[in-house]
Amino acid sequence: MKNIYNRNLGYWIKHYLLDHLPIVRNLSRNTILSYRDALRQLLNYMSSQKYDIENADVEAITSTIVKDFLVYLEHEMHCSVSTRNQRLAAIHSFASYVASQSPEHLHWYHTLKSIPIKRRQIKEIGGRAVPQIEYLEKDEMQAMLNAPDRRTTQGYRDYALLLFMYNTGVRASEAANIIIEDLKIGKGISSPYVIIHGKGNKTRSCPLWERTVKTISPLLNRESCAPVFLNRYGNAITRFGIYELISRYAVKASEIKESIREKHVSPHTIRHTTASHLLEAGVDINTIRAWLGHVSVNTTNIYAEVNLRMKAEALKTCEIGETSSTKPIWKKDKSLLDFLMSI
């Protein structure tokens, strides 16, 4: 007998997230949550466009809807090209799964698969194309750290989180998953550090500044298995909560440091900032690679090449020529959505 649910969007999403990704593909929890969040954002967008997502056919996810959704991410949500491409990859993966189980959806899958990823903005450095990396200068990062009102409970938590992320260069998901026992800062620990659970279930250790230890210690009067950073409701903060927090303080910090207004500040911007500042301080590439949890040193080398470009541009401003008049160059019941939130 033909399954009456084989065209229902909710039916396929539930099987994809609860069976295909964790059991068939054996993906990590963080990776599954990333796919889930991409689909949740898409369904929220469709709902805002008056789609009845509870009763929608899977083919309601048309190429037009997906393209409009991607434009919305970039222009309304101010997401980076990398985030835009990650969301599209998740949609492609979901559509591929549906088509593999239901050949009648092959044409639908191919219409979505034809939507291309978007190239990231690149710059030429030494004749080589390198993705543009956005990060904060030291005075801009200090403005971000000064933005929270530390006299309030939430403001102090926000300051501690920003400082922790700047110290460690963690991804938003990694910061959200830190629990108290991951922090090695008690008596007998001569050099405080934190164990970070990164991509692919890999762990790494990162040293903590004395300032970070002192700031974060008041937040740790709970069970060792409890999350370090909580939201206002006492639950573990989420990746999206961290994103919203950083976006909010970037706006506030830009009132003091206007140059921040020209930048798209996200959790990954803080990560880039950590790497760039470590490099400027003379830390070698391999140490930074281990610090950030990069699999390949080639990923970390991007920071070195960007730093080299900065030095070259700074050097040009000091160049003396016989007739040069060049001025210095300065930088400028469970519903479907409830289900997605529950896994």
Query: Residues 277-320: pLDDT tens digits?
Result: 888 877 777 777 777 776 554 544 555 444 444 444 443 444 44
Question: How would you classify the pairing of strands 122-125 and 128-131?
Answer: antiparallel
Q: How many CB atoms lie within 10 A of CB 295?
A: 12
Pairwise pLDDT comparison (309 vs 85), residue with the higher score: 85
* Predicted local distance difference test score (pLDDT) of residue 308: 46
Quote the CA–CA distance of 283 and 231 in Å, as a whole number.
34
* Three-state secondary structure readout of the chain: CCCCCCCEHHHHHHHHHHHHHHHHCCCCHHHHHHHHHHHHHHHHHHHHCCCCCCCCEHHHCCHHHHHHHHHHHHHCCCCCHHHHHHHHHHHHHHHHHHHHHCHHHHHHHHHHHCCCCCCCCEEEECCEEEECCCCCCHHHHHHHHHCCCCCCHHHHHHHHHHHHHHHHCCCHHHHHHCEHHHEECCCCCCCCEEEEECHHHCEEEEECCHHHHHHHHHHCCCCCCCECCECCCCCECCHHHHHHHHHHHHHHHHCCCHHHHHCCCCHHHHHHHHHHHHHHCCCCHHHHHHHHCCCCHHHHHHHHHHHHHHHHHHHHCCCCCCCCCCCCCCCCCCCHHHHHHHC
Pairwise pLDDT comparison (1 vs 140), residue with the higher score: 140
What does the block give as tokens for 246?
């950083």
Residue 123 backbone phi and psi in degrees, to 5: -130, 155
Pairwise pLDDT comparison (186 vs 207), residue with the higher score: 207
* Predicted local distance difference test score (pLDDT) of residue 237: 95
Which residues on neighbouring strands pair with residue 311, listed in sequence order? Answer: none
What's at 49, amino acid-wise? Q
Average of pLDDT values for 322-342? 55
With cut-offs at 50, 70 and 90, classify the pLDDT of residue 255: very high
Pairwise pLDDT comparison (145 vs 1), residue with the higher score: 145
Which sequence positions are flagged as catalytic? 171, 199, 268, 271, 294, 303
What does the block give as tokens for 283?
């830390």
Query: Residues 187-230: pLDDT tens digits?
Result: 878 899 999 988 777 888 889 999 999 999 999 999 999 999 99
* Predicted local distance difference test score (pLDDT) of residue 316: 45
Query: Residues 38-67: pLDDT tens digits?
Result: 999 999 999 999 899 999 999 999 999 999
* Three-state secondary structure readout of 293-308: CCCCHHHHHHHHHHHH
Q: Is the pLDDT of residue 129 over 60?
A: no
Quote the CA–CA distance of 318 and 186 in Å, as a whole number.
49
What pTM, to 2 d.p., does this model score? 0.59
Residue 337 backbone phi and psi in degrees, to 5: -70, -40
* Predicted local distance difference test score (pLDDT) of residue 300: 44
What does the block give as tokens for 46?
């469709």
Domains in the chain, ordered, with CATH? 9-120 (1.10.150), 138-316 (1.10.443.10)
* Predicted local distance difference test score (pLDDT) of residue 131: 52
Residue 245 in contact with residue 232, Cβ under 8 Å? no
Q: Is the pLDDT of residue 326 over 50?
A: no
Pairwise pLDDT comparison (267 vs 186), residue with the higher score: 267
Residue 144 in contact with residue 136, Cβ under 8 Å? yes
* Predicted local distance difference test score (pLDDT) of residue 286: 73
Residue 71 in contact with residue 21, Cβ under 8 Å? no
The sheet carrying 193-197 orders its strands as 183-184, 193-197, 203-207
Across all residues in the chain, what is the average pLDDT?
83
Q: Mean pLDDT highest for which of 109-123, 243-257, 328-342?
A: 243-257
| pLDDT over 90, % of the chain | 56
